[in-house]
Structure 1
Amino acid sequence: MLQVKKYGYNVYPALWLALAILLVPGCSNGDPASHSWLHGSWELTFNPQKDDADVITFNSDGTVTIATVDGHGVIGKYAVLDQELALTLVSNQKIVDVRFAVSPDHTRLIYENGAYYTKKP
């Protein structure tokens, strides 16, 4: 599973989703709908740490869901910034920031440890 940088913000349960939705939209490089190559589900294809696999689903409205193999889910927003993909997620009532490099041909989302995701058919 992804290692995420956790910020010290302890968010009350009633506010966590609203806060996540408000954080990313100003960072977007254009309308999320314009990144159709990203929309859909991406699976962990290579993972040098050999920890849990997960599936990331990107929606055209700028929302993202990560489903873990143990049945848990994490939700948030995403923005495409040139060749970088920025995710702002809510995990355990904390805001987390995750960044991926995007391969030039848009076929891989590459995490900092070398792990990468490819789009599910």
Structure 2
Amino acid sequence: MLRGAAAWPDPAVDQAIESALEIGLTSIAWSSTMPCNAPIRGRFVVWHLHRNAIAMPKLMLVPLLLVGLSLPSFAAEQASIPKWLLGIWELTDDPDHSPTDWMEFRADGTFVNTLVDCRKVAGTFHLFRGDIYLAIEQNGKFLANGSRPNQEKTKLLYTSPRTRNTATYEKVASVECHGG
């Protein structure tokens, strides 16, 4: 028998959870540091973390849902993209000597990377704990990378995972590509 496998004594709470089940609540996804899946089995929620399973009374689901709803959500952070980030950022310093490029961050959560020859690559971005994460899908391949603003939010710093050198982007008024 799994730990916590006992019926909850409060019938009112049990009835509320049963009502939630009747309208289609069959699982909960919870993510703090790792994703996990929690199917509801009878009167218990079974949490699967790695290869272990933990059962707890469904009543524990109620406080977890309340805590989850009270935490700031990713969507709320995404909806409030800071004004300092919006606009065009130019590669101004790169110890790896990459050609100049420009990153344009837009209010809808998309960005366009313009290369020096005017080719463009588009993707999406999001902020998490102050860092900027980019997602690009090109030719059927997925690429992700991230940047961190300096304290004054006047520069974006990108550290190459290959060389460990840090490139710097600074805000500019326009793109100055040549070609295309």
TM-score by length of structure 2 reads 0.49
Query: Secondary structure in 1 aligned to 2:127?
Result: strand
Match of 1:66 in 2: 113
Match of 1:47 in 2: 94
Pick from 167, 171, 174: which aligns with 1:115? Answer: 167
In structure 2, C-alpha distance between the alignment counterparts of 1:119 and 1:28, rounded to whole Å:
26
Runs of 4+ in 1 over 4 A off after TM superposition: 26-29
- Aligned length in residues: 96
Paired residues for 1:70-89 under 5 Å: 70-89=117-136
Paired residues for 1:93-112 under 5 Å: 93-112=140-159
Query: Secondary structure in 2 aligned to 1:31?
Result: helix
Q: 2:158, 2:166 within 8 Å by CA — same for their partners in 1?
A: yes
Match of 2:81 in 1: 34
Q: 1:29, 1:82 within 8 Å by CA — same for their partners in 2?
A: no
Query: Secondary structure in 1 aligned to 2:152?
Result: coil
In structure 1, C-alpha distance between the alignment counterparts of 2:110 and 2:90, rounded to whole Å:
17
Q: 1:28 to 1:100 in 2, by over 3 A?
A: farther
% identity of equivalent residues: 28
In structure 1, C-alpha distance between the alignment counterparts of 2:93 and 2:83, rounded to whole Å:
23
Say which structure, 1 or 2, has more relative contact order (CA 8 Å, 6+ apart): 1
Q: 2:78, 2:127 within 8 Å by CA — same for their partners in 1?
A: no
RMSD between superposed Cα atoms in Å: 1.8
- The residue type paired with residue 74 of structure 1 is V
Q: 1:66 to 1:106 in 2, by over 3 A?
A: same
Q: Deviations over 1:61-118 (max 9, x none)?
A: 1000000012211111111112311000122331110111111211111011210101
In structure 2, C-alpha distance between the alignment counterparts of 1:44 and 1:71, rounded to whole Å:
14
Paired residues for 1:14-33 under 5 Å: 30-33=77-80
Greater per-residue helix proportion = 2
Q: 2:158, 2:167 within 8 Å by CA — same for their partners in 1?
A: yes
Q: 1:29, 1:79 within 8 Å by CA — same for their partners in 2?
A: no
